[in-house]
Amino acid sequence: MAQVRELSLSITEFLNNSSVPRVRRCPGCGAIMEYLPVTFHFDGEAWDIGLPVCTRCEPTALELIEHRRVA
Ligand SMILES: [Zn+2]
């Protein structure tokens, strides 16, 4: 079970270090990207990670963001 524990620690470490800068510009069109809130559950813990999306290049992402805000 040592290997499983090690893998678990690696994933936890990765999630703890995956905080993204709050302002990021789209490499495609230069617009400021929105953050799609995503909650990631692993090993009894939860992380709120903002997934950067460009609503100009991906208009459907805006619907997802609005939906998550209401929910
Ligand atoms: Zn874009």
Domain locations in the chain as residue ranges? 2-70
Calculate how far, in angstroms, residue 35's C-alpha sits from the geometric centre of ligand 1: 13
Calculate how far, in angstroms, residue 40's C-alpha sits from the geometric centre of ligand 1: 25
| Amino acid identity for residue 10 in this structure | S
Condensed to tens digits (0 to 9), the pLDDT of residues 14-65 reads 877 766 556 789 999 999 988 888 888 988 999 888 888 898 998 887 777 7
Under a CB-based contact definition with an 8 Å cutoff, are residues 55 and 46 in contact?
no
Calculate how far, in angstroms, residue 12's C-alpha sits from the geometric centre of ligand 1: 31
d(CA 32, CA 26): 6
SS3 per-residue string spanning 27-55: CCCCCECEEEEEEEEECCEEEEEEEEECC
pLDDT band at 71 (very low <50, low <70, confident <90, very high): low
Q: Give the position of tokens 């963001």.
A: 65
Residue 19: which residues within 8 A CB-CB, separation 6 or more? 49
Calculate how far, in angstroms, residue 25's C-alpha sits from the geometric centre of ligand 1: 8
Structure confidence at residue 3 (pLDDT): 80
